[in-house]
Amino acid sequence: MPSSLSLIRLPALSIVDLVGVDATAILHNLTTNDVKKLTTDGPQHAGLETFITNVRGKCLGHVVVFATENGYRMIGAPGVVTTADNAGTVRQSQAIAEHADRYTIREDATPVIRDEELAAWMVVDGDEEPAQTTPLPSMTDQDGVESYQLPWVKAGTLFLLPVDTAAEHPSLIAERLGVDPETLATGDESDFHAHRVAAGFPWFGIDVTDAHLPQEADRETQTISFTKGCYLGQETVARLDALGQVQKKLVRWKLSGLPTGAGPAADDKLRALDASEDAKPVGRITSVGRINDQGEGLAMGYARRSHFEAGAKLAGQISAGDVGDVAYTAEVLPPVLGDSPE
């Protein structure tokens, strides 16, 4: 096994099991993708990436879904969502559970939040160069150990294991992978996000929020079925598809010209290359990957329609201590390709 393997303990994810005879009908009515296609056939079965939309077609959640013996499992970022009464915020898992409850009347479907029961470990393999494609979601259960291939990183495996046996997890994961535990380097959350940015995967609550429309995440191919039938918020999604355009889109940028040891931060603004300093920004950074010693790196964020096509270049500015303000360039990379659910 390559020495590039890293084992990363992630913070508690949003994990919701929707169980019951009518779980399929309820989840179908709340998601942009065709979850009815999912099965539990075979030792390895496919999952789907999907948005969960509210009545206005906004993104209440962004998860990967897998069929289980008695329903479905949804896995996503911790995230934060504004409550229905606008009184505060809750984790993505709670928002999804409350949303499912709200639209379940007589049906047999119960959401169960598993965030605190399952420890999340990501084994990442490979480098942090920008991905052109990412793996299709799939799940394997071997001797009671569940592992997931997810598009969160270019190459890696997510393990969800009971929190009360956390001390045993590294050796258990190594055994499951067929490697010596000593070959697993220890990574941290920043390492995971560097790989995630390279894979171009949006993290709910950071890159995508409940203020966004699904198409603004630029993952239509991976997340939206336009033939599945009615679901909550479908009218907005379909209308936007018919119009054929969004005014902003989530992109990956290749950064260059950064000062050594410094990088941009979330919410930093980007302007057109020839724009004045007081010109209106056309880009906003949401996530930053690793910055190398040559002042190059990756970032994700939103670009306006005039600047979201691959190859478009924007300008940013960063303060570098004694050096003062330094200008850098952000070039839009091609979107990550994915298989259509159609």
Specify the residue for token string 């920004």: 281
Return the number of other C-beta atoms located less than 10 Å from residue 328's C-beta: 21
Strand order through the sheet with 59-68: 48-53, 59-68, 71-76, 14-19, 110-113
Task: Give residue-wise pLDDT tens across range 134-181.
Answer: 889 999 988 878 999 999 999 999 999 999 999 999 999 999 999 998
- The answer to whether residues 297 and 252 touch, using CB atoms and an 8 Å cutoff, is no
- The answer to whether residues 63 and 95 touch, using CB atoms and an 8 Å cutoff, is no
Task: Give residue-wise pLDDT tens across range 257-274.
Answer: 999 888 999 999 999 998
What is the helix (H) or strand (E) element at residue 291, kind and residue range? strand 283-291
- The answer to whether residues 250 and 301 touch, using CB atoms and an 8 Å cutoff, is yes
What is the helix (H) or strand (E) element at residue 101, kind and residue range? helix 92-102
Taking the model in full, what pTM does it have?
A: 0.95
Residue 167, φ and ψ in degrees, nearest 5? -65, -25
Where do the DSSP E strands lie in 69-213?
Answer: 71-76, 80-82, 89-91, 110-113, 118-124, 138-142, 145-149, 156-162, 185-187
Beta-strand relationship, 185-187 and 6-10: parallel
- The answer to whether residues 108 and 313 touch, using CB atoms and an 8 Å cutoff, is no
Compute the distance between CA of residue 179 and CA of residue 183 in angstroms, rounded to an integer.
7
Compute the distance between CA of residue 39 and CA of residue 22 in angstroms, rounded to an integer.
15
pLDDT band at 108 (very low <50, low <70, confident <90, very high): very high
Between residues 230 and 183, the one the model is more confident about: 230
pLDDT, position 342: 62
- Domains of the chain, each with CATH number or no CATH: 6-199 (3.30.1360.120), 247-342 (2.40.30.110)
Compute the distance between CA of residue 19 and CA of residue 69 in angstroms, rounded to an integer.
9
- The answer to whether residues 289 and 193 touch, using CB atoms and an 8 Å cutoff, is yes
